[in-house]
Structure 1
């Protein structure tokens, strides 16, 4: 997984672009292949924040502890909810009313949390203390708008990796 952390911003951009292209691919008269390609594209697109949140934990200062388990659970909840909804509705979307909307709201929270956690982790590493929402909100927005945000985030991630590498060799 560290290969994505060490990658250049243009390499990650190509991966994200392929994910976006696959998620918007439609093959006429073959809905099963279309669904598989669409889901593979979505997973390729959203695997990057997951790997960031998971792998950057190793670079946190010793005094900073973030709840990695809650992040992992929420990541799988929203991906599972998205996949289930896509498969059940054949990517046509669904409407949730009444009590059925409560799980949907939690899935939305899980999605936002899984996008905010990597931003908090990166900012906490840079600040060497636990970051507050105000500290990492800009990074959170960059992760939400990833094709653009990658040009700003990945060089910072590369610097964090290089500092750790220098610290180990020194």
Structure 2
């Protein structure tokens, strides 16, 4: 987890591209058939989940107030990561079981419910890293309007790494200099 705090934004972007081409190449060269789960699904789930998860786990130790509230928020972060993952996989299974294309599936009631749950869980999931970044920078608990912009930047993955990662590097470098890492 410390690695994500030290990598520069261009390094993460290159790793992301290499990872994508490795997945596509591996699935293409091995003739590994996944009829229900396309390779874009695997790639999108991993990239949408791993970066915020590593940010939350890596920056949690730098939080100014290590109170019970911070511990509760961290546990909630992990729970919403699990809910997001389950809902994401359930949506893909529903899509394969129903046998419809995305345009036809939009109004299917079970799929709509699962998608709403997945969206809400993901929004709550990315809230923790963005709040943590702002709380560390402000040296106090960040309010909703102070971290909502960072939450939307994380939604714009992979573009968010060009704005958020330099801030994370500054936080990590500052904590390393003060000996808090």
Whether these two folds match at TM > 0.5 is yes
Is 1:128 aligned to residue 139 of structure 2? Answer: yes
Q: Say which is worse superposed, 63-72 or 108-117, in terms of deviation.
A: 63-72
Could you say which residue in structure 2 is the equivalent of 1:74? Answer: 80
Q: Sort the Cα spacing of 1:24 and 1:118 in 2 relative to 1 into closer, same or farther, 3 A.
A: farther
Matches within 5 A, 1:106-121: 106-121=117-132
When normalised by structure 1's length, the TM-score is: 0.81
- Give 1:45 deviation, angstroms: 1.0
Matches within 5 A, 1:89-100: 89-90=95-96, 92-93=101-102, 94-95=105-106
The equivalent position to 1:50 in structure 2, one of 50, 53, 57, is 53
CA contact (8 A) 1:63 1:129 kept: no
Could you say which residue in structure 1 is the equivalent of 2:166? Answer: 155
**Secondary structure of 2:142's partner?**
coil
Distance 2:89 2:110 in 1: 20
The equivalent position to 2:89 in structure 1, one of 66, 72, 83, is 83
RMSD value over aligned CA atoms? Answer: 3.1
* CA deviation string 1:108-145 (max 9, x = no partner): 11011112221111001101111111101221121111
For structure 2, the residue ranges without an aligned partner over 5 or more in a row are none
Distance 2:62 2:85 in 1: 25
* CA deviation string 1:17-71 (max 9, x = no partner): 34566788996x9641783633431233121011111221101113664301111
Q: Sort the Cα spacing of 1:8 and 1:33 in 2 relative to 1 into closer, same or farther, 3 A.
A: farther
Could you say which residue in structure 1 is the equivalent of 2:14? Answer: 14
